[in-house]
Amino acid sequence: MSLPKIFVTRQLPERGLNPLLSHAEIEIWPERQPPAYEILLEKVQQIDGLLCLLTDRIDEQLINTGKSLKVISQMAVGYDNIDIKAATNRKIPVGNTPGVLTDATADLTWALLMCAARRIIESEQYVRAGSWQTWEPTLLLGTDLSGATLGIVGLGRIGEAVARRASGFNLRVIYSSRHRRSKEIEAALGVEYVEFNRLLQESDIITLHTALSKETHHLISYAQFALMKRSAILINTARGAIVDPQALYQTLKSGQIAGAALDVTEPEPIPLDSPLLSLKNLIITPHIGSASYQTRLKMATMAANNLLAGLLNQPLPYCVNPEIYS
């Protein structure tokens, strides 16, 4: 009997595909850039399983073109690049990789937060540029975390992990989210629920942790920036399109808020001629929230296990559209 065919849209961490080795005929896209949409359309016609990344557009046309497609497994927790409704209509399970990347992403959020609050990148560049002449009372002043208010938008897995890390910094932590968490969770995390606009007004540092959806697209734009303190710092390690990039540029340029740090941009990668790249009060990293050896291997293994379950007609261990099973 021939093995099911799968297409993996990029090289994954070594050993990540181990669970699939004896169960499938595996084709791996060998290039550094993602396969073009037209290539995906061609590949999907010949496969039973697709292991994809957040850089692949998995839309209705693609899903419907995959006549033999039984399972889609994404190596990421976010799945805004996949038309879940179209997959559900065809009863194709879609897997993702929640949880295993929570700590790594919360760590990066804190790294960016500290860099932005204490102007670490500017300071490092200052030294390398040979500008360091002496100790100066007003050189590269940042903001204290102790006593500040941290506002978390979206208190899910990563938002919670960010809140837990705040406990050693003597911060007040407030949050807004689609659903208020239980009193017990709020007490355990030391967080206080507030309405979104109040969070924007009261926070010294605002960090975004919602999924990208129609509701959260450009959730932060001109009106929201206008509510923030002039000293506020915005951190986004969720999805680029949650922040309106034009509004961010105007706001940072005019000094309406103090700074921002992004691990995600709209679009990705950020074009080299983007005006955002001219701003000193903005830090950008290239979507590396989960980029540790350990985490990426866990994500790849989890995605492989999801894919394997789908090929074997078993429920996916981590499925974003479990309603297909009822």
Catalytic annotation, residues: 239, 268, 287
Site for ligand O=CC(=O)O in 281-300 (CB under 6 A): 289-290
Phi, psi of 26 (to 5 degrees): -105, 125
Q: Does 154 bind ligand NAI (CB under 6 A)?
A: yes
> x/- site string to ligand NAI, residues 82 to 101, per CB under 6 A?
----------------x--x
Closer residue to ligand O=CC(=O)O (CB): 245 or 289: 289
DSSP string over 109-127: HHHHHHHHHHTHHHHHHHH
Going from the C-alpha of 323 to that of each of 89, 94, 129, 291, the distances in angstroms are: 10, 11, 57, 31
Shortest Å, Cβ 318 to ligand O=CC(=O)O = 12
**Site for ligand NAI contains 194 (CB under 6 A):** no
Q: What gap in Å lies between CA 308 and CA 314, rounded to an integer?
A: 8
Write the CB contacts of 222 (distance below 8 Å, at least 6 apart in sequence).
Answer: 244, 247, 250, 251
Quick one: which segment of 15-23, 174-182, 184-192, 310-318 binds ligand NAI (CB under 6 A)? 174-182
The residue whose Cβ lies closest to ligand NAI is: 156
Residue from 78, 95, 245, 259 that binds ligand NAI (CB under 6 A)? 78
292, 299 contact by CB (below 8 A):
no
Which one among 76, 108, 111, 205 touches ligand O=CC(=O)O, defined by CB under 6 A? Answer: 76
Amino acid at 189: L
Phi, psi of 221 (to 5 degrees): -140, -160
With CB under 5 to 8 Å by kind, the binding choice for 11 among ligand NAI, ligand O=CC(=O)O, none is: none
Q: Is residue 198 involved in binding ligand NAI (CB under 6 A)?
A: no
In the list 16, 19, 78, 259, the residue contacting ligand O=CC(=O)O (rule: CB under 6 A) is 78
Give dist(CA 216, CA 324) in Å, integer. 25
Among residues 78, 97, 79, the alpha carbon closest in space to that of 88 is found at 79
Instruction: Name which of 203 and 216 has its Cβ closer to ligand O=CC(=O)O.
Output: 216
CB atoms within 10 A of CB 158: 29
Binding interface with ligand NAI (CB under 6 A)? 77-78, 98, 101-102, 105, 153-159, 177-179, 209-213, 215-216, 237-239, 263-264, 287, 289-290
